[in-house]
Amino acid sequence: MHREIYFLKINTIIKTNIMIKNISQYAVVLLFFTATAIHAQTPLSIAKPEKPVTSYNVTAATGSVTLIAGETITFGPGTFIQAGSTFTARISSLAQDIAIPVVPSIAKNDNYIYSRIFQTPMTTVNGIKNNRDVQESILYFDGLGRPVQKIAIRQGGDVSDIITHIEYDEFGRQVKDYLPFSVANTDNNYSKMDAQDALDNTISFYDKEYYDKTINPFSEKKLESSPLNRIIEQAAPGNDWAMSNPKKNTIKLEYQTNTFGDAVKLYKAITSWQTSKGLYDISFSDDGSYDEHELYKNVSYDENSGVNPSESSGSVIEFKNKEGQIVLKRTYNAGLKHDTYYVYDIYGNLTYVLPPKADITINDEVLNGLCYQYKYDNKKRLVKKKLPGKEWEFIVYDKLNRPVATGPAFSPFQSDAAIGWLITKYDVFGRPVYTGWYNQSVNSLTRNTMQTAQNTAKVLFETKQTSGTIDGIAAYYTNDIEPKIFKLLTVNYYDDYTFPAVQALPATIIGQKVLTNTKSLATGSWTRALTTASNTAGETSTIFYDTKGRVISNYVKNYLTGISHTDSEIDFTGKTLSSVTEHQKVSGGTKITVKEKFTYTAQNRLLTHTHQIGAETEQLLADNTYDALGQLVGKNVGNSTGSPLQKIGYNYNIRGWLTQINKTDNLQQGSDPKDLFAFKINYTKTEGNSAVTKALFNGNIAETFWATNSDGSVLRGYGYQYDQLNRLKNATYQTPKLAVNKNYFGENMDYDKNGNITKLQRKFMAGTLTNPYADDMDDLGYSYAKNSNQLIKVTDATNNPQGFKSANKTGDDYAYDDKGNLTKDQNKKIIEIVYNHLNLTKKITFGDGNTIEYIYDATGQKLEKNVTENKVLTNTKYVSGFQYKNDVLQFFPTVEGYVRNTSTNPATYVFGYVFNYSDHLGNVRLSYAQNAKKTGLEILEENNYYPFGFKHAGYNTDNLQLGYKYKYNGKEFQDELDLNMYDFGARLYDQALGIWRTLDPLAEKSRRFSPYTYALNNPVYFIDPDGMLAQPSPLEAAVMSKHVYGGNKVKLVGGWKVSNASEGISMSNFNTGFKSALYERTTKGKTEYTYATAGTEDGKDWKTNGKQLFGLSEQYKQSMEVAGDLKMALPKGAELTFTGHSLGGGLAEANALTTGDKAVTFNAAGVSVFTVDTNQKSNTDAYLMTSDPLNAIQGSTGLPTAGGEKYFLSPGSINGYKDGHSIDSVIESLKTNTFGQFVKNTMDSFFKPNSDK
């Protein structure tokens, strides 16, 4: 087994990774060096040795951290370093392991909660030795039960304490939220710091250049002078945003009612029941305008609004009716209104959404081309919907209100143009067991026929068997529910390892005993490879668990007959210590084995990550450094810890926004290896010479700069200009340090009201390298179909072939199918594009007969790409991350780049590591590797981009010999046959035009924008990871739902952390029992937020459950107010999701209903119609344990039940059956129930009519 030994030398730790047999404990060795270089004789003093020992020979090459044991070093019975074996050492300047007392020293006259989270297994606290054994925290309270100080003990990057000061004004309101500071704990005293000392320490801690000499290390809010305590102004931490700053770079809020001058239109939805269709038909009615003071009007201004904000300049205005439903969201650009209307039927169901472009007389053509339409049945279930430019879609439910069929959906199979339904069947526990495609016509009448059959069905679930076929495929399930004849797509297995092609159950995996009793756990799956309808090849996965029910291995038998699997060694807390990946493309083929090792700081932050292929030399992927508050500030990459290829530094501003990757002004930092790439982001200042760029304070990026070692460290960059809707208007190329600055790579855009690009101009560097000049590359005009978002024509006034290629001079350039997918592109000579059931491209046919064909599995994972050019086939296979071209391995990814194979012989491999520098968006900017002689570094490729992704030309380096095409946003560029689009997974993106070519699968999350808009027209700030929007995973949300109960009692996952961006909003109330917290994570420069509300803990919360039935609950009122405050206080465009468990889940759903945002709830309490209008469609994913008594009680007594789309979870262990309501049972179940991803991938977009960002 792989473990860590710590050699202590005065203030130095050598962290040593060694192979130890039968280890039962960590050993400590005191090592005293007699020379700087580690070689020659080294005396050792060993604690508790098997026999007295005074010295050993330990040798290593000078300057290396690889050590060789000259003799066997024994630490105890069965624990030793074998003679002649090598082991690696990490030298740190800080001692991470600190001895701590079993009984903490805390002053007894303070109110506090002291928490310990054990990191190593032990039966008694007497086993605690140091801070690696336990994480400690204290929350102190005043005499009124209010939190006044938080201490995260030794959680700083330098093992210091992290302390947060909390204070209240004379009315008991928390108007300032202080940032945490760190302080050394030298005496193991955990007592509360004096309040004034804590305040003084906070101020002095941030009064440093490192923190921009910040005078206000706190967010601050100004409240109106009324008992409502509503926020009227919000200031963020940092000098630029301070409340005292005369420039007033703050968020301002106003609360009004509508006036005649607002001219809010009164639209209505008229419903009529249609028995033959089983739904309410709808018609649109324009009833003039609302009278004065009929609507609530809330106005918010962002940090760019300045001293005297105006509604017509940079505001967001929201109008709500007396039921709390949003009827209008209004923004302005250049004084022009951009209105999004929401129209409800008499039952409160959202029925129409009218985006800004629908600002003309509303008729059927406008409704069908630009608007969102929804129809419901008599159970208020969404059964029919229409997105702009897309045909009507249908949903069928079973008796338990679970979606069982959706359509229309194209055939999944190649060379099949049929249209049918996607179906899902469930087992007795409500778990999806298999899915399929049903070849049947799709319309209102067939939907009603299928719904009627479900309403009268006697059998509601399928049953597991030990044999049996479906669609000619061994599935081991019954097929009793209609329809019975369909094409099987996926199968999920639970509870045991009895299913076809299952991997044999091993006894152990990396020394960990494998669980054999897997009742209620997901154990495997089968996923079809979508070639022809008669081909039944697929991929079978088998999941193995340790005895705690944690996944430690996933075996995949691929459709090519090969096997890939990743085994993980995890510790007591679930951290991965090591992993082994074995890959084999075909049965009997060459195996590739990859070993990865991970070490962590005492605070569980990733310290080192190494990578090894077979028996080759281990390669360093990451060696991380953190600052006093635990923020990543350094990462060494490549080669080894003692001699990395690159040392990467990170800098941030006071708000945690990334400002630098390395130093653009000097690529050579001391004696470190010279930086190959540096990147800088300016927000609140400008350094270039663009006339249109100005300092920004709302999170938009004002400037970016970069420098590389490939072109003499020339500083290049962009200055950005935005319109009042935060859409990128102009990007001016800058070289501020050159004598002559020309806009060589400028890009500017115009938009219509929906964000469709109407004009795009792009410059390029013409001439020669010695005599360059800026010239026009593109001057594009975009034309759209009438009352539509669909682009039909692009003209180019320049006709420059280096940019967009306008090859069609007559007629329309583009055509679309009924699902909004592009089917023809005359400029690229594409005569046909066909799609599968997920609207993924199956085949592209060009006018010259050349083709590109994509093969996927049933969940949408790309398996192959076949390019036929002049009758010559080039095949690319994507096999568990390993990419092959014509069956020769090209490369496979690592977290810092990729491993390339330079051998052309399919039977042999010659591997080399390539490392990538990426910017804040994940754009791969520079790739490098050691040169052939390993005497230095070689830059393989440099890529720099226009904001919308088109690549700069004229100065980039490109020495690549292999087809590594992952570039913009880290996505694969499809350049074959001049297709020139990026594959984002869910959609293809055209970087020359800056738009998607198919409809957004999650278009309803951003209805104010065209469903073809890329990154909300702000590609400098936003990313689109897969062509859809991001949100926390169910497991991540559940962990936050637990964390909010008790602070640091649980470790957050998925990169989430407690946010300091709550902007002074009071998140708890002792008198009512209300408790909540805001969380955030930043991925590649974009920050998203989750607001979690705590569930039932005491009598106060049970009263809340009862009172809210009648709309009387203070907790619900407080929660919805906080949600509204957060919505306005967070940066414009920020992703906000609500989550909670039990009562907290009810609060989260109420929050989502109030703001229109997303919620993810767990065993949630039902929300009463008297609390918030629950008649509107909830944008909530509700996860419910089948063993939860609360759901049973609510359902059987007529009490409100959890709202939203329900996903049922089976218990993950016997405890889950005993205590099905607890959040622990939910988390346990989510970790083991890996089913349903296909259902969500294919069906989620059918059920989200109430979300708008």
Residues 6+ apart with CB under 8 A from 1092: 1037, 1040, 1041, 1043, 1044, 1076, 1077, 1078, 1079, 1138, 1139, 1140, 1144, 1148
Strand partners, 338: 331
- Rounded CA-CA distance 1110/1098 in Å is 20
Is 684 found in the same domain as 775? yes
Residue position matching structure tokens 């001293």: 307
Same domain, 277 and 202: no
> pLDDT tens-digit profile of 761-796?
999 999 887 788 999 999 999 999 999 999 999 999
Asked whether residue 573 is assigned to any structural domain, the reply reads no
**In sequence order, which residues have a C-beta less than 8 Å from that of residue 1011 and are 6 or more positions away?**
387, 388, 389, 789, 820, 996, 999, 1000, 1003
Distance CA 209, CA 631 (A): 16
Q: Are 340 and 321 in contact (CB under 8 A)?
A: no
Determine the pLDDT at residue 8.
Answer: 29
Q: What is the mean pLDDT of residues 213-225?
A: 94
Give the number of C-alpha atoms closer than 13 A to the C-alpha of residue 145, restricted to the C-beta side: 8
Which of 495, 511, 537 terminates a domain? The answer is: 495
| Same domain as 270, residue 212 | no
Residue 428 lies in a domain: yes
Contact 611, 894 (CB under 8 A): yes
Q: What pLDDT is attached to residue 1043?
A: 84
- Residue 377 is which amino acid? D
C-beta neighbour count of 275 within 10 angstroms: 7
Q: What is the pLDDT of residues 329-352, one digit of tens each?
A: 999 999 999 999 999 999 999 999
Return the minimum-mean-pLDDT range out of 84-98, 213-227, 696-710, 987-1001.
84-98
| 1126 plus 1207 within the same structural domain | yes
Does any domain span residue 168?
yes
Residues 6+ apart with CB under 8 A from 1222: none
Indicate which CATH number applies to the domain containing 1225. Answer: 3.40.50.1820
pLDDT over 90 (residue 830): yes
Return the exposure string of 975-988: e unless at least 16 CB atoms fall within 10 Å of the residue's CB, then b.
ebbebbbbbbbbbb
pLDDT of the residue at 719: 97
Average of per-residue pLDDT values in the chain: 84
Say which residue, 1035 or 661, is predicted with more confidence. 661
- Most distant CA atoms of the chain, gap in Å: 95
Secondary structure of residue 134 in the 3-state scheme: strand
Q: Which one-letter DSSP state was computed for residue 636?
A: E
For residue 320 the two structure tokens come to 């709500």
Whether 597 is in a domain gets the answer: no
pLDDT band at 41 (very low <50, low <70, confident <90, very high): very low
| One domain for residues 20 and 107 | no
Judge whether residue 1177 has pLDDT over 60.
no
Residue 1060 lies in a domain: yes
For the cut 50, the answer to whether the pLDDT of residue 32 exceeds it is: no
Query: Looking at the structure, do residues 381 and 404 belong to the same domain, yes or no?
Result: no
* Res. 947: pLDDT tops 90: yes
Three-state secondary structure along 1080-1104?
EEEECCEEEEEEEECCCCCHHHHHH
Cα–Cα distance for residue pair 762/946, rounded to 1 Å? 9
Lowest mean pLDDT among 414-428, 725-739, 880-894, 1098-1112: 1098-1112
d(CA 602, CA 1057): 17
In a domain, 613, yes or no: no
Specify the pLDDT at position 505. Answer: 96
d(CA 1076, CA 1069): 9
Better-scored residue on pLDDT, 244 or 74: 244
1159, amino acid identity = A
Short-list 881, 857, 865, 858, CA closest to 565: 881
The mean pLDDT value for 563-589 works out to 94
- Token pair recorded at residue 482: 């209609």
Decide if 818 contacts 391 (C-beta within 8 A). Answer: yes
- Do 86 and 114 share a domain, yes or no? no
Asked if residue 913 has pLDDT above 90, the reply is yes
The CA-atom distances, in angstroms, between 1092 and each of 230, 1040, 1080, 1139 are: 21, 6, 11, 5
CA distance 1129 to 1065: 9
- Same structural domain, 901 and 845: yes
pLDDT (0 to 100) of residue 1188:
65
pLDDT of residue 713: 83
Greatest mean pLDDT among 50-64, 179-193, 447-461 = 447-461
* Res. 188: pLDDT tops 90: no
Q: Is 1230 exposed, middle or buried (0-12, 13-18, 19+ CB in 10 A)?
A: buried
pLDDT of residue 1203: 65
Residue 1134 lies in a domain: yes
Last residue of a domain, one of 35, 63, 92: 92
3-state secondary structure of 126: helix
- C-alpha 812/C-alpha 793 separation (Å) is 5
Report the chain's C-alpha Rg in angstroms: 31
997-1026 pLDDT, tens digit per residue, is 999 887 887 787 899 999 999 999 888 777
Whether the Cβ atoms of residue 281 and residue 231 lie closer than 8 Å to each other: no
Mean pLDDT of 734-762: 92
Give domain status of residue 1250, yes or no: no
- pLDDT(1054) > 90: no
- How far from the centroid of its chain's Cα atoms is residue 121's Cα? 32
Given a contact cutoff of 8 angstroms between Cβ atoms, the answer to whether 728 and 332 are in contact is no
What's the rounded mean pLDDT across residues 934-963? 85
> Are residue 803 and residue 828 in the same domain, yes or no?
yes
Across 443-452, 929-938, 1153-1162, least confident range: 1153-1162
Give residue 1131's pLDDT band: very low, low, confident or very high (50, 70, 90): low
Domain total for the chain? Answer: 6
Domain range enclosing 108: 100-223
| Per-residue model confidence (pLDDT) at position 1042 | 86
448 and 366 part of one domain: no
The two structure tokens encoding residue 849: 């007969």
Contact 1122, 1129 (CB under 8 A): no
Outline where DSSP puts E strands in 549-671: 551-557, 563-570, 576-583, 592-600, 606-613, 619-626, 632-639, 644-652, 658-661
Whole-number Å distance between alpha carbons of 612 and 594: 6
Task: Indicate whether 254 pLDDT > 80.
Answer: yes
Q: What is the DSSP string of 15-82?
A: EEEEE-SS--S--EEEE--SSSSS-SEEEEEESS-SS---EEEEE--TT--EEEESS-EEEETTEEE-
What's the token pair of residue 533?
A: 């309808």
Give the residue among 1065, 1171, 1059, 1163 at the shortest CA–CA distance from 1109. Answer: 1171
Beta bridge partners of 677: 708
Share of the chain above pLDDT 90, in %: 62
Strand, coil or helix: 772: strand
pLDDT band at 840 (very low <50, low <70, confident <90, very high): very high
Nearest of 1035, 1250, 1059, 995 to residue 1162 by alpha carbon = 1035
Of residues 1040 and 7, more confidence is placed in 1040
Output the pLDDT for position 1028.
Answer: 64
Residues 833 and 959 in one domain: yes
Q: Is a pLDDT exceeding 80 seen at residue 1230?
A: no
Same-domain status, 1058 and 1194: yes
Which one of 319, 354, 386 terminates a domain? 386
SS3 1048: helix
